[in-house]
Structure 1
Protein backbone atom coordinates (compact mmCIF):
# COMPACT_ATOMS: atom_id res chain seq x y z
CA UNK A 1 0.00 0.00 0.00
CA UNK A 2 2.72 2.47 0.95
CA UNK A 3 4.82 1.48 -2.07
CA UNK A 4 1.87 2.09 -4.40
CA UNK A 5 1.47 5.56 -2.91
CA UNK A 6 5.19 6.35 -3.45
CA UNK A 7 5.10 5.06 -7.03
CA UNK A 8 2.06 7.23 -7.75
CA UNK A 9 3.77 10.28 -6.15
CA UNK A 10 7.02 9.71 -8.08
CA UNK A 11 5.17 9.27 -11.35
CA UNK A 12 3.20 12.48 -10.90
CA UNK A 13 6.26 14.53 -9.88
CA UNK A 14 8.52 13.23 -12.65
CA UNK A 15 6.01 13.74 -15.46
CA UNK A 16 5.79 17.53 -15.37
CA UNK A 17 6.05 19.49 -18.59
CA UNK A 18 9.30 21.31 -19.21
CA UNK A 19 8.75 24.87 -20.42
CA UNK A 20 10.39 25.94 -23.67
CA UNK A 21 13.69 27.76 -23.52
CA UNK A 22 12.30 30.82 -25.29
CA UNK A 23 9.73 31.43 -22.56
CA UNK A 24 12.44 30.90 -19.92
CA UNK A 25 14.82 33.36 -21.59
CA UNK A 26 12.04 35.93 -21.98
CA UNK A 27 11.62 35.99 -18.19
CA UNK A 28 15.33 36.49 -17.44
CA UNK A 29 16.56 40.07 -16.92
CA UNK A 30 19.31 41.07 -19.32
CA UNK A 31 21.17 43.44 -16.98
CA UNK A 32 22.02 45.75 -19.86
CA UNK A 33 19.40 48.29 -18.82
CA UNK A 34 21.41 49.32 -15.78
CA UNK A 35 24.81 50.02 -17.35
CA UNK A 36 25.48 52.17 -20.37
CA UNK A 37 27.98 51.17 -23.02
CA UNK A 38 31.49 52.46 -22.20
CA UNK A 39 33.06 54.96 -24.56
CA UNK A 40 35.77 53.83 -26.96
CA UNK A 41 39.34 54.12 -25.62
CA UNK A 42 41.30 57.07 -26.94
CA UNK A 43 45.02 57.07 -26.11
CA UNK A 44 46.47 60.32 -24.74
CA UNK A 45 47.92 62.66 -27.32
CA UNK A 46 51.46 64.00 -26.87
CA UNK A 47 52.50 67.53 -27.73
CA UNK A 48 55.05 68.07 -30.48
CA UNK A 49 57.61 69.27 -27.88
CA UNK A 50 57.25 66.07 -25.85
CA UNK A 51 57.74 63.91 -28.94
CA UNK A 52 60.88 65.85 -29.90
CA UNK A 53 62.31 65.45 -26.37
CA UNK A 54 61.62 61.70 -26.43
CA UNK A 55 63.39 61.26 -29.78
CA UNK A 56 66.42 63.36 -28.82
CA UNK A 57 69.47 61.74 -27.18
CA UNK A 58 69.62 62.14 -23.37
CA UNK A 59 71.38 65.19 -21.97
CA UNK A 60 74.74 64.47 -20.34
CA UNK A 61 74.26 67.19 -17.72
CA UNK A 62 71.28 65.31 -16.29
CA UNK A 63 73.33 62.15 -15.60
CA UNK A 64 74.40 61.14 -12.12
CA UNK A 65 77.02 63.28 -10.42
CA UNK A 66 80.44 61.65 -10.19
CA UNK A 67 81.15 63.33 -6.83
CA UNK A 68 78.15 61.70 -5.16
CA UNK A 69 79.10 58.20 -6.29
CA UNK A 70 82.72 58.61 -5.11
CA UNK A 71 81.50 59.79 -1.69
CA UNK A 72 79.38 56.67 -1.36
CA UNK A 73 82.34 54.47 -2.31
CA UNK A 74 84.49 56.17 0.32
CA UNK A 75 81.89 55.58 3.04
CA UNK A 76 81.51 51.94 2.04
CA UNK A 77 85.28 51.53 1.92
CA UNK A 78 85.66 52.90 5.44
CA UNK A 79 83.05 50.52 6.82
CA UNK A 80 84.68 47.57 5.05
CA UNK A 81 88.11 48.58 6.36
CA UNK A 82 86.89 48.60 9.95
CA UNK A 83 85.72 45.00 9.72
CA UNK A 84 82.01 45.57 10.34
CA UNK A 85 79.80 42.90 8.90
Structure 2
Protein backbone atom coordinates (compact mmCIF):
# COMPACT_ATOMS: atom_id res chain seq x y z
CA UNK A 1 0.00 0.00 0.00
CA UNK A 2 1.28 3.41 -0.94
CA UNK A 3 0.24 6.41 1.14
CA UNK A 4 -0.95 9.30 -1.04
CA UNK A 5 0.88 12.63 -0.81
CA UNK A 6 -1.84 14.68 0.89
CA UNK A 7 -2.63 11.87 3.33
CA UNK A 8 1.06 11.40 4.07
CA UNK A 9 1.41 15.11 4.82
CA UNK A 10 -1.58 15.02 7.17
CA UNK A 11 -0.35 11.90 8.98
CA UNK A 12 3.13 13.36 9.46
CA UNK A 13 1.57 16.57 10.78
CA UNK A 14 -0.50 14.58 13.29
CA UNK A 15 2.52 12.55 14.38
CA UNK A 16 4.66 15.66 14.86
CA UNK A 17 1.88 17.15 17.00
CA UNK A 18 1.75 13.93 19.04
CA UNK A 19 5.54 14.05 19.38
CA UNK A 20 5.22 17.53 20.88
CA UNK A 21 2.48 16.35 23.21
CA UNK A 22 4.68 13.51 24.43
CA UNK A 23 7.51 15.94 25.14
CA UNK A 24 5.02 18.04 27.07
CA UNK A 25 3.89 15.01 29.08
CA UNK A 26 7.48 14.19 29.97
CA UNK A 27 7.99 17.77 31.14
CA UNK A 28 4.79 17.57 33.18
CA UNK A 29 6.02 14.41 34.89
CA UNK A 30 9.45 15.88 35.56
CA UNK A 31 7.92 18.99 37.10
CA UNK A 32 5.60 16.97 39.33
CA UNK A 33 2.29 17.94 37.73
CA UNK A 34 -0.94 16.45 38.96
CA UNK A 35 -1.58 12.92 37.74
CA UNK A 36 -5.05 13.83 36.39
CA UNK A 37 -3.45 16.46 34.12
CA UNK A 38 -0.87 13.93 32.90
CA UNK A 39 -3.50 11.28 32.18
CA UNK A 40 -5.62 13.82 30.30
CA UNK A 41 -2.67 14.61 28.06
CA UNK A 42 -1.88 10.91 27.62
CA UNK A 43 -5.46 10.34 26.44
CA UNK A 44 -5.13 13.22 23.96
CA UNK A 45 -1.89 11.89 22.47
CA UNK A 46 -3.36 8.39 22.29
CA UNK A 47 -6.32 9.73 20.31
CA UNK A 48 -3.97 11.62 17.97
CA UNK A 49 -1.97 8.46 17.29
CA UNK A 50 -5.16 6.47 16.67
CA UNK A 51 -6.36 9.07 14.18
CA UNK A 52 -3.07 8.89 12.29
CA UNK A 53 -3.34 5.11 12.13
CA UNK A 54 -6.97 5.14 11.02
CA UNK A 55 -6.12 7.67 8.31
CA UNK A 56 -3.49 5.29 6.94
CA UNK A 57 -5.92 2.36 7.03
CA UNK A 58 -8.62 4.42 5.31
CA UNK A 59 -6.16 5.17 2.51
CA UNK A 60 -5.54 1.47 1.98
CA UNK A 61 -9.24 0.70 1.91
CA UNK A 62 -9.88 3.54 -0.53
CA UNK A 63 -7.15 2.19 -2.83
CA UNK A 64 -8.79 -1.23 -2.71
CA UNK A 65 -12.24 0.12 -3.57
CA UNK A 66 -10.90 2.24 -6.44
CA UNK A 67 -8.99 -0.73 -7.86
CA UNK A 68 -12.10 -2.91 -7.76
CA UNK A 69 -14.19 -0.18 -9.42
CA UNK A 70 -11.60 0.04 -12.20
CA UNK A 71 -11.69 -3.74 -12.64
CA UNK A 72 -8.15 -4.17 -11.36
CA UNK A 73 -6.78 -6.49 -8.75
CA UNK A 74 -6.52 -4.68 -5.38
CA UNK A 75 -2.95 -4.16 -4.23
CA UNK A 76 -4.10 -4.20 -0.62
CA UNK A 77 -4.81 -7.43 1.22
CA UNK A 78 -8.19 -6.93 2.90
CA UNK A 79 -7.41 -9.48 5.64
CA UNK A 80 -4.28 -7.52 6.48
CA UNK A 81 -6.24 -4.25 6.50
CA UNK A 82 -8.79 -5.80 8.86
CA UNK A 83 -6.00 -6.93 11.21
CA UNK A 84 -4.49 -3.45 11.14
CA UNK A 85 -7.85 -1.86 11.85
CA UNK A 86 -8.52 -4.20 14.77
CA UNK A 87 -5.06 -3.53 16.19
CA UNK A 88 -6.10 0.13 16.60
CA UNK A 89 -9.68 -0.46 17.69
Q: TM-score range by the shorter chain?
A: under 0.3
TM-score relative to the length of structure 1? 0.23
Q: Which has the higher contact order (CA 8 A, sep 6+)?
A: 2
Q: Which has the larger radius of gyration?
A: 1
TM-score relative to the length of structure 2? 0.23
